Chains A and B, each alone.
Chain A
Amino acid sequence: MSKMKILLKNGRVIEPSAGIDAVSDILIVDGIIEKMGARLSGGKDVQEIDLKDKIVAPGFIDMHVHLREPGFEHKETIETGTLAAAWGGFTAVCCMPNTSPAIDDASVIKHIAERARSVNDGLVDVYPVAAVTMGREGKYLTPMMELVEAGAVAFTDDGAPVESADVMRRALEYASMLGKPIIQHAEEVSMTKGGVMNEGFVSTALGMQAMPPIAEEIMVNRDIRLAAYAGARYHVAHISTIGSVESVRSAKRKKMPVTCEVTPHHFTLTDESVRSFDTNTKMNPPLRTREDVEAMKEGLHDGTIDVIATDHAPHSYDEKQVEFMYAPFGIVGLETALGLAITELVHKNVLTLVQLIEKLSVNPRRILSLPLIKFGEGEKANLTLIDPECEWIVDTQKFKSKSKNSPFDGWKLTGKAIGVFNKGYFLPT
């Protein structure tokens, strides 16, 4: 990591919110964009980086990350998680409140913020998402105003859906005063008890207890109604079924403030992968069918799905080295997200690079009311550099994340981040 004068030469600069898409040089001095334009030249002390055929994008944010600290530091820490984020091309992450203690008190947010500033030179901004209810138990609302004042950017009980419609209604109403969205892990748990994979032909063929797709859809539908009634903003975490995407699409058509995100694994893998009994194919929501994967791509393409987020869920090697039924849900995603997105979406003509950048930077920032990243002289350099044509092979042992639980080990991907800038620091990856 270095703090110096850097000249980015010949990169294709894309900033969708301002409609910028042009080749330009960028001179960065002490973390500030000093100059942009053609054929810039630095001085002797300027480090030049040639970015011909490479992309310069506003820094990416992953709005769904489990940093595991405090409480589960054997899986991940703020230090290893944010380094993994930077290597994956993210200059910011939102950390989920499934920690121990849960993020239901301002003191936890302050602790996280302090740790985030002190590791990796604070290269990656960490935005905590606080719990909706105390201890994520679904009963009593957290002190949302105090939490927002401390730095919470949204609320969710992620992993534990807010089951009670009444609690959800009050949470939506209360959060709407603060202009913050409620993010829901949409799952009607009375239907998913004991389930370890998607319910369908594959679960039947494997004799596995399963989670029906309608368990997600019922909750998405209920919540959309509640959000409309409460006049609140609602965001569906890791959307995964055809029906859920349809519901969000129709809510958007009615101009309701409903948004959603999809994970790379839900637009890449199907439940057929579970036939391997590889516990790295076990996550919640589970991998769905080919038709669902197609619906994710369609939703990304037509704008129904606003955001790509990883649901980065680190678990230690031993925790996943058990029978499928007993393994914890979740996989790491920070270091494969961009490669999968470019390989599966950009190179397969689902999204343009501009649209991809919207879903990795602009849209999540809008949903979370974070300032958009600007390109212009005098602006802070918060950038992700991408080589969309770079071919590489995923090697989980090289992950910066403390955990290696990925089903993509050995996959050949095209496209990756080649560096990030933030807070005056540059990390070539």
Chain B
Amino acid sequence: MPLASRHLLGLEGMPKEDIQLILDTATSFREVLERPIKKVPTLQGKTIVNLFFESSTRTRISFELAERRLSADVVNFSADASSVRKGETLKDTARNIEAMKIDMVVIRHAAPGASHFLSNVIKSNVINAGDGAHEHPTQALLDMYTIREKLGKLDGVRVCIVGDISHSRVALSNIYGLKTMGAVVSVCGPKTLIPREVEKLGVNVFYNVDDALKNADVLNVLRIQLERQDRTFFPSTREYHQYFGITRGRLKNAGKPIVIMHPGPINRDVELSADVADGEASVILQQVLNGVAVRMAVLYLLGTGS
């Protein structure tokens, strides 16, 4: 059964069965990754272009590994969006690359909706690898895969996303995906980093991290940046760590096991103390491994669909 859409632009509105299908398919590829020879011929002859208009290490490598392990031909394009903007438009760049006969495009871009725009101007399958603070669907899928792997289910699991919700594509995709799968989602952070009316997305809002911990089985801790667009949203990283940082002491006070996730890269001892990041409750490296399997699943389902 193919996916409802021929693109993966976001998890908002994606049917539950499609998410289920991707996660189940990822289980098979996860098994492939444990083999001595981690390569299957599934996408042999398909050409995939990774269009990265924003710097990214792990997402780009993860996609590239996934593509190569499916035996696709891979081309990488990296550029700073602003410098490209001065010369060629996204539409022209994409159309020129497409003219060379390609099959799929993976795009990372600073502008929300950039992947939607791309899907309107080219014929290839488009996979959103992050569009500004909008969506990052494969990250949320790998997060859900990891939660399911760890806790055996998603339905009813209480997940709290902690940190800069306003500027996070990870937060939005997680909210959309987890809500669809029946999880109970909350967000926590200083009010200055919680977008307005976020509760209308069906999430609980906490400004006190200890309260949030009491109501969570899983914490998805987001990277925090002091400055964004020359504006500051909280007083200092020191204060942030003191009042919102996830520390061993806080977890102990919560009095129950809580799974710790982080999409990376981690600011050690800012949003997450180093001992928690490396501790027994952390599944951060599993997330990274699962990311390859989930991306293989997405590429496979879109690349072999009608």
Contacts and interface: CB of A to CB of B under 8 A. Distances in A.
Interface string B97-135: 000000000000111111011000100000000011111
B132 A277 contact: no
B89 A321 contact: yes
Nearest to A321: B91
Contacts of B12: 205
B231 interface: yes
Interface stretch (B195-203, B214-222, B291-299): B195-203
A204 B116 contact: no
A149 interface: no
Nearest to A318: B89
B198 to A, nearest CB: 5
Interface in A266-320: 277, 318
A151 interface: no
Contacts of B133: 207-209
B200 A323 contact: no
Contacts of B168: 207
A241 B195 CA distance: 20
B197 A201 contact: yes
A392 interface: no
B250 interface: no
Contacts of B111: 323-326
Contacts of B197: 200-201, 204
Interface residues of A, number: 21
A392 B109 CA distance: 40
A325 B201 contact: no
B179 interface: no
B172 interface: yes
Nearest to A324: B113
A207 B172 contact: yes
Most buried by A among B110, B114, B117, B131: B117
Interface centre among A194, A203, A277 (most CB of B within 10 A): A277
Decide if the interface of chain A is mainly helix, strand, loop or mixed: loop
A322 interface: yes
A199 interface: yes
A206 interface: yes
Interface residues of B, number: 30
A129 to B, nearest CB: 32
B30 interface: no
Interface string A206-223: 111100100000000000
A206 B133 CA distance: 8
A193 interface: yes
A255 to B, nearest CB: 36
A203 B201 CA distance: 12
A325 B91 contact: no
Nearest to B117: A323
A194 B229 contact: yes
Contact of A201 (B90, B121, B200): B200
A51 to B, nearest CB: 44
A325 to B, nearest CB: 4
A204 B112 contact: no
Contacts of A318: 89
A49 B113 CA distance: 51
Contact of B112 (A193, A208, A212): A208
A326 B169 contact: no
A209 B169 CA distance: 12
A200 B201 CA distance: 12
Contacts of B134: 206-208
B238 interface: no
A203 B121 CA distance: 24
Contact of A207 (B89, B112, B229): B112
Contact of B196 (A201, A324, A326): A201
Interface of B: 12, 85, 89-91, 109-114, 116-117, 121, 131-135, 168-169, 172, 195-198, 200-201, 229, 231
19 contacts: A200-B197, A201-B196, A204-B197, A205-B172, A207-B133, A207-B169, A207-B172, A208-B113, A209-B133, A277-B113, A277-B116, A322-B90, A323-B90, A324-B112, A324-B113, A325-B111, A325-B113, A325-B114, A325-B132
Given A194-B229, A324-B112, 13 more contacts: A204-B198, A206-B112, A207-B112, A207-B134, A207-B168, A209-B229, A212-B196, A321-B121, A322-B91, A322-B117, A323-B117, A324-B113, A325-B112
Closest 6 CB pairs of A and B: A277-B113, A207-B133, A207-B134, A323-B111, A325-B111, A204-B195
Interface of A: 193-194, 199-201, 203-209, 212, 277, 318, 321-326
